[in-house]
Structure formats: C-alpha cells, structure tokens
Structure 1
Amino acid sequence: MAARYDLIKCINAGPEHKAPIEMVVFDEEGDTIQYSIKGIFVPIFEGLLAEGNVYVVTNFTISLNTIKFKPTRHEFRINFKRDTNVRPVQDSSVSLNGFNFVLFKKIHAESKEDGYLVDVIGRLASKGNLVEFTRDGKPSSYITIELDDLEGGQKLRVMLWQTLAFNLIKYLEEHPCLTYVVILQMGKMKFYSGVMGVSNIIYNSKLFINVEFPAARNFFTRVNKLDHVDGQSIMLLVCDQPVSIEEDFLRLSVYKTIAEIKEHNQKLSNDQS
C-alpha cells in the first residue's frame, strides 16, 4: 500500500510518555484514510516517517473509525502494530498534494459542523482586517476572507487563525498583484452568523497562495477566461467581532418552550406504551 504521509497532530506529549500520532494518507487514486500510531509505538516509527514522502506499509490492523475527530470520510482507519513494516519508495504516481476540493455550494448546504476536514480553492474576493483579542487570558487573532470559486457567484467565508492569518497578510504585502488564488487544505466547516464557512485548525491546515500546483494553474486559467474578473481589486470585508460559544448557541439553536418539551416527552411516552 503506497501512500503519502501527512502529519496531523501530536498532542499531550510529555517527557516520559510519547503522544500518539494521527495521520492522513492518500494513495495514487487520491483516496484518503486515517492512520493511528499508539504512544507506546511512536518511538519505533517517528524516525521513519516524514511528511511528503511515499511509503509502502504492511502488516497493520484495520478498525472502524468511530473516534470523534475524523479528518477523512473513510469508514475505517489503519492502526500500526509493533511489527508494522514501513518502507520508503519513489513513486511518482502518488500526488505530492492530494487535494480533494469541495464545491462551495456543497459546504453551504451542510446543516451541521462535523470533524471532517475539507479542501477549498478560490479567488480571493475580499478580506477583513486582522482582529486581535484576549480570551481566558490568552491572546489570539484571526482574519476573515471570502473566496470565489467562479461557480455562479458562490462565495465562501474563511477564517484564518494565528499563523495562517499572519502568513496571508505577509504574502499580500510582499506580492502585490491583481489576482490571488488561495487554497486551504484540511479546513474545518464552521457556522459564521448562521452561514456555513471554513476555518483552519491549529497543527493541521495548510495555506497556499498563487502556487505552481496543477490545481492552482488550472484555476488561474479559469480566472483569465472571465473578463469581468480582470482588474478587480480585493474588496474590504466588514466582519463581526469575535462571537462567543454562548452567542453561537443562542443564535443557531432551535428553541422550545418548557410546555413544548413536556408535550413532546408525553407524546413519546404514549407512542412507546
């Protein structure tokens, strides 16, 4: 099984116990699956794996992917054993990027947030200012942008936090041009003001701007064919202030009165009797 290794996250690492490693890998068909390495096995494999390389992995176990955080939609995940064999190979048939772009209209149609990660690509249509704030004594910052996927005016709101926000601002300052094609890889779907958007997550997401990847070149070709896009400047996006979890809950949740809840529970009891 040949797959490109893509580090997802190492958490709760301590001086005596290694943190488990969670990975997303993909094969030559672009299909992704989650790999897991238990903390006790990490010392065996951490020196063998490097992001961006291709490996043949044998002698592993397969289990249903029932964990809460699911970066892929594959129903199974692969677990390393102590004697799992990892062999690096030179295989040009496996893409170095493995993008699986999701249409904006499909994201907008989602009714709930989940743990699955998505890839999006679009022309930078507008951006807000950097927002800096402190929550629970910790400083944080983000910037909100809108991407246009050139599919009938569909625009997607994307929030970039911390490092990716700074990287975007720095790139725009150092590379002034008319068109920016932005790729966010492994972003998380999230509601913003009642509309589904995408946000980066710490450790996982990657941001690419005007890169030479085939996907970006193909998108540039589409942009250049649209006369009304040429010469358009990036619009200023007016964004809300940070929204608390409580505010999100109050705005997006369905309300029921106590009487309605009692009536609903009574109906369930009658149906079951």
Structure 2
Amino acid sequence: MSFPGDRIHATVCKPRLELFRNKIKEHVVYSIQNFIVKLNNGKVKTTPHKYKLNFYTKTVVAVLPIETFSFNPFEFRPFHELEKNGSTDGNLLFDYIGDVVGKDEIKGLITRIGDETKRITFQLEDLEQCLLL
C-alpha cells in the first residue's frame, strides 16, 4: 500500500536525459507535472510502489522546500529479509547495514542485449545490532 510521501520510481529515456540531467538532484523534493504513469513491472524495481513515472518533453519539474515532507532517504531492512528475498525478489532494491567479509573475483558477463559488463559477488555479515529503527 502506498501513502502520500512514498517513494516512486521515475524514468527518463535517453533522448530526453539532457532536459532533466541538471534539474533533478538527490535528497530534494519536487513538484512534477505532465508525466506518464505506468505499472512498475520492469526487471529492476528501485521501489516497491505499484506504479512508476516516465518523464517526457513536456514534463515540468519544480523544487519544493524540503520541510514540506518528512524525509528519510533510506529503507533499511533486516538481514534475514535480505536472505529470504534475495533469490525470490532479486530485483527489489533496499538498504542494509553490514560488513563485506568476502568476495569473489570479478567476472565478465554479456547481457541479454549483447552488452559487455562485469559482476562481483560479495559475502555479507549481519550488523543488525547497528540498525537504528
């Protein structure tokens, strides 16, 4: 369930990227007009929100005073949830506090569309006692 002030994923396609590159910054609150709403059913979900926003040429972005909303840029989850959801919902991103205690060697990969990329696997250790809720 989403409430006013929840995070929502927004996408800017490459041809319009230059229109918004210098207008949008992290940790800033915006009023946004003229956008397209789509289902958030892509490969990677940066938020659990049901919908996502797509910006286009007529999208207008204006800064609002940050005091307008309570602001917490993190969505911490406990370690056991990372372990439980890692294989079932590997496309949902969330924040975690822990130590990297091991890693594999960097491996080259070819994506589904033929691009070359790299991947590294980390071994994490829970620091749940550091998590402040």
The two structures have a TM-score, normalised by structure 1, of 0.37
Partner of 1:128: 101
Q: Percent identity?
A: 23
Partner of 2:47: 72
Give the counterpart of 1:147 among 123, 126, 129: 126
* Partner deviation per Cα, 1:18-53 (whole Å, 9 max, x = no partner): xxxxxxxxx974x22110111222121112112222
3-state SS of 2:81 partner? helix
CA distance in 2, matches of 1:63, 1:80: 11
Aligned residues of 1:28 and 1:94 also touching (Cα < 8 A):
no
- Are residues 59 and 104 of structure 1, via their aligned partners in 2, closer, same or farther at CA, if it must alter by over 3 Å? same
3-state SS of 1:101 partner? coil
Aligned residues: 121
Q: Is the aligned partner of 1:104 residue 2:79? A: yes
- Are residues 87 and 134 of structure 1, via their aligned partners in 2, closer, same or farther at CA, if it must alter by over 3 Å? closer
Partner of 1:117: 93
Higher relative contact order (CA 8 A, sep 6+): 2
- Structure 2 counterparts to residues 48-67 of structure 1, below 5 A: 48-67=23-42
**Which ranges in structure 2 are unaligned for 5 or more consecutive residues?**
109-116
- Are residues 46 and 118 of structure 1, via their aligned partners in 2, closer, same or farther at CA, if it must alter by over 3 Å? same
Aligned residues of 1:61 and 1:78 also touching (Cα < 8 A):
yes
Partner of 1:88: 63
For the aligned residue pairs, the C-alpha RMSD in angstroms reads 3.2
3-state SS of 2:19 partner? helix
Q: Is the aligned partner of 1:46 residue 2:25? A: no
1:117 Cα offset (Å): 0.4
Name the one with the larger helix percent. 1
1:102 Cα offset (Å): 1.6
* Partner deviation per Cα, 1:62-94 (whole Å, 9 max, x = no partner): 111222222211111111121111111222234
3-state SS of 2:90 partner? coil
- Are residues 113 and 64 of structure 1, via their aligned partners in 2, closer, same or farther at CA, if it must alter by over 3 Å? closer
- Structure 2 counterparts to residues 161-180 of structure 1, below 5 A: none
- Are residues 39 and 142 of structure 1, via their aligned partners in 2, closer, same or farther at CA, if it must alter by over 3 Å? closer
* Partner deviation per Cα, 1:222-253 (whole Å, 9 max, x = no partner): 9xxxxxxxxxxxxxxxxxxxxxxxxxxxxxxx
1:134 Cα offset (Å): 5.3
